[in-house]
Chains A and B, each alone.
Chain A
């Protein structure tokens, strides 16, 4: 008996310790990264559920807009019945302007709830600058000589009845605006450098 008990006590202790660890592992001491992942996956799943709920609600109440429904769902914790009641009772609140729901078709991952966390450089990998964006490299060299000309041609602008002509006029105005800005900025930088050089010497 005693032998039996002696064997049981340490094994019991071991079991207790193990289960304690498991419980701790599961509920309390999740490492930061995996917890964030969990949260993210939970968030995306709730977002998916929300999307379904919103779609259902919108079928019921087409007059209420998506954003309002999403806002209310967020406040009620995704409780469709509660939201339905509030719509029926006319107690829906207008969401604050800072509330930006995810766009309808795209997956919820696209919308980060804390946009500030990500650096702007990451968000905009495409279109590094305006010159490449509008393919103005070859026009850069020409502008210096042509500026007077284009300025005098400015008076001729206006509405054209021809679709293509309108399009090209708009394009021209766009290019001109960018090139002019670039020219001014170049001049400004040159002036600053000169000043700096003068101050140094």
Chain B
């Protein structure tokens, strides 16, 4: 998480990071926050009927394979999973403060020179911090004597420094005005008004009966004990305006014929390409990631899920070719969607776009030269398969204007950085020899 920019794939924090620091006792603590299956922090932890906890996605995958709890091998069903929201909160909080604690623990302890650490360390700190710290001294020194001596104390004091900041943040969100927040839309109002607010539908997220899934959590958050949930929840809110996600039912694939299955996939807006076996696997995976997403506190958008599905398919299929082809087809309807996340798409493929633009500029120049030499214009490599519009442009000679970006938009007739990727994708599917730039980002 810390070094997302350089190598996102290679940074995996692990509980062993605490070893060789004075806080090595935190290793088992962190281990307790990690899923037994993926070894990562719990992501939407779910409780099985045998009282074991796993990530929602992990346990759903395991159950779809052999229907047994990976820890005790008791049979269980997906429908009997229950969310472990308290753990989710604990994990989220731990994740948030982990980096700073670790950073602190890795710093060389400033007071290690003291020969008999317990007393001297306390004294040194007293003189440094002055009167403000003094009342806390007895408690702290007993704690440090229980832990490994002086090295541990700075970390503890650091923790204490954090807590006032936290409560400040929380205070921002709970003004002391005698009002309460609506458990659904967080609008502040008088306590008596909440019921009417929800039942009359003036709350944007209220009327759906499915909101049961989220309402209890929100209720919990409005009590004092879970104030820290406030900032994140209210931050996430505008992105997903009270959209309640419904779990998808599993299908019995042996009971369903080819055509209905294809129809089902089409209904879910996922690709219907490929043989029957692939269709079943794809549907199963989609149901799994979709249902796991439903358990998440911050659900991903459909587009992100589709990308996950695409990644899954690429890694699972031995023939990488078909994976790419499928990916192209699946992405297409999404790009046209109204809620398509154009900005993220644009940033993630920025370099490829720049490549394409540079290529387009080059080929434009070449085309100009050739147009001078001969009356018959050559096709640019990026747009080898001309569509009708493009032909019209070329015939009227309007190709000779503007820079690369404008050039693209002109030809293709779309606006916006996100949308202009579509025709390239289209070409990619038909082209016999794809341009390297287009290939490189498709394979990403």
B partners with A: yes
Residue B308, interface by CB 8 Å: no
A137 to B: closest C-beta gap in Å:
33
Residue A96, interface by CB 8 Å: no
Residue A161, interface by CB 8 Å: yes
Of the residues B3, B6, B277, contact of A62 by C-beta under 8 Å: B277
In the complex formed, the residue of A with least CB distance to B12 is A159
**Residues from chain B with Cβ under 8 Å of A59 in the complex:** 277
Contacting pair B277 A163 (CB below 8 A): no
Give CA–CA (A59, B278) in the complex, Å: 11
Residue A153, interface by CB 8 Å: no
Residue A158, interface by CB 8 Å: yes
Contacting pair A161 B7 (CB below 8 A): yes
B127 to A: closest C-beta gap in Å:
34
Give CA–CA (A62, B316) in the complex, Å: 15
Residue B400, interface by CB 8 Å: no
In the complex formed, the residue of A with least CB distance to B20 is A158
**Residues from chain A with Cβ under 8 Å of B280 in the complex:** 62
**Residues from chain A with Cβ under 8 Å of B11 in the complex:** 161
In the complex formed, the residue of B with least CB distance to A157 is B20
In the complex formed, the residue of B with least CB distance to A163 is B10
Of the residues B10, B20, B277, contact of A161 by C-beta under 8 Å: B10
Counting contact residues on chain B (CB < 8 A from A), the size range is: 10 to 19
With most chain A CB atoms within 10 A of its CB, the pick from B3, B14, B277 is B277
In the complex formed, the residue of A with least CB distance to B13 is A159
Contacting pair B20 A163 (CB below 8 A): no
**Residues from chain B with Cβ under 8 Å of A62 in the complex:** 277, 280
A138 to B: closest C-beta gap in Å:
31
**Binary contact track B14-25/A, C-beta < 8 Å → 1, others 0:** 100100100000
**Binary contact track A55-71/B, C-beta < 8 Å → 1, others 0:** 00001001000000000
Give CA–CA (A163, B8) in the complex, Å: 12
Q: DSSP majority for the A interface? A: loop
How many residue-residue contacts, CB under 8 A, span A and B?
A: 13
**Residues from chain B with Cβ under 8 Å of A158 in the complex:** 20
B282 to A: closest C-beta gap in Å:
13
**Residues from chain B with Cβ under 8 Å of A163 in the complex:** 7, 10
**Residues from chain A with Cβ under 8 Å of B17 in the complex:** 159
Give CA–CA (A93, B20) in the complex, Å: 50
B2 to A: closest C-beta gap in Å:
10
Give CA–CA (A62, B65) in the complex, Å: 12
Complex interface residues of chain B between 254 and 305 (CB less than 8 A to chain A): 277, 280
Give CA–CA (A15, B219) in the complex, Å: 102
Give CA–CA (A158, B280) in the complex, Å: 43
With most chain B CB atoms within 10 A of its CB, the pick from A59, A62, A163 is A62
B27 to A: closest C-beta gap in Å:
14
In the complex formed, the residue of B with least CB distance to A62 is B277
Complex interface residues of chain A between 54 and 91 (CB less than 8 A to chain B): 59, 62
Give CA–CA (A106, B6) in the complex, Å: 41
**Residues from chain A with Cβ under 8 Å of B7 in the complex:** 161, 163
Give CA–CA (A62, B10) in the complex, Å: 34
**Binary contact track A23-65/B, C-beta < 8 Å → 1, others 0:** 0000000000000000000000000000000000001001000
Give CA–CA (A161, B12) in the complex, Å: 10
Complex interface residues of chain A between 135 and 186 (CB less than 8 A to chain B): 158-159, 161, 163
In the complex formed, the residue of A with least CB distance to B275 is A59
Give CA–CA (A159, B17) in the complex, Å: 9
A199 to B: closest C-beta gap in Å:
48
With most chain A CB atoms within 10 A of its CB, the pick from B7, B10, B17 is B10
**Residues from chain B with Cβ under 8 Å of A161 in the complex:** 3, 6-7, 10-11
Give CA–CA (A159, B20) in the complex, Å: 12
A79 to B: closest C-beta gap in Å:
23
B214 to A: closest C-beta gap in Å:
35
Give CA–CA (A178, B151) in the complex, Å: 37
Complex interface residues of chain B between 3 and 46 (CB less than 8 A to chain A): 3, 6-7, 10-11, 14, 17, 20
A66 to B: closest C-beta gap in Å:
14
With most chain B CB atoms within 10 A of its CB, the pick from A59, A161, A163 is A161
Give CA–CA (A62, B14) in the complex, Å: 36
Give CA–CA (A130, B337) in the complex, Å: 59
Give CA–CA (A159, B14) in the complex, Å: 10
Give CA–CA (A163, B3) in the complex, Å: 14
In the complex formed, the residue of A with least CB distance to B2 is A161
Give CA–CA (A59, B3) in the complex, Å: 45
Give CA–CA (A59, B277) in the complex, Å: 8
**Residues from chain A with Cβ under 8 Å of B6 in the complex:** 161
Give CA–CA (A62, B276) in the complex, Å: 10
In the complex formed, the residue of A with least CB distance to B19 is A158
Give CA–CA (A163, B11) in the complex, Å: 11
B275 to A: closest C-beta gap in Å:
9
**Residues from chain A with Cβ under 8 Å of B277 in the complex:** 59, 62
Give CA–CA (A158, B7) in the complex, Å: 18
B398 to A: closest C-beta gap in Å:
48
Give CA–CA (A147, B11) in the complex, Å: 32
A8 to B: closest C-beta gap in Å:
69
A152 to B: closest C-beta gap in Å:
15
Give CA–CA (A159, B16) in the complex, Å: 10
B268 to A: closest C-beta gap in Å:
21
Give CA–CA (A75, B11) in the complex, Å: 49
In the complex formed, the residue of A with least CB distance to B277 is A62
**Residues from chain A with Cβ under 8 Å of B20 in the complex:** 158
Closest 6 CB pairs of A and B: A62-B277, A163-B10, A161-B3, A161-B11, A161-B7, A161-B10
8 CB-based A-B contacts, threshold 8 Å: A62-B277, A62-B280, A158-B20, A159-B17, A161-B10, A161-B11, A163-B7, A163-B10
- Further 9 A-B residue pairs, CB within 8 A, beyond A158-B20, A159-B17, A163-B10: A59-B277, A62-B277, A62-B280, A159-B14, A161-B3, A161-B6, A161-B7, A161-B10, A163-B7
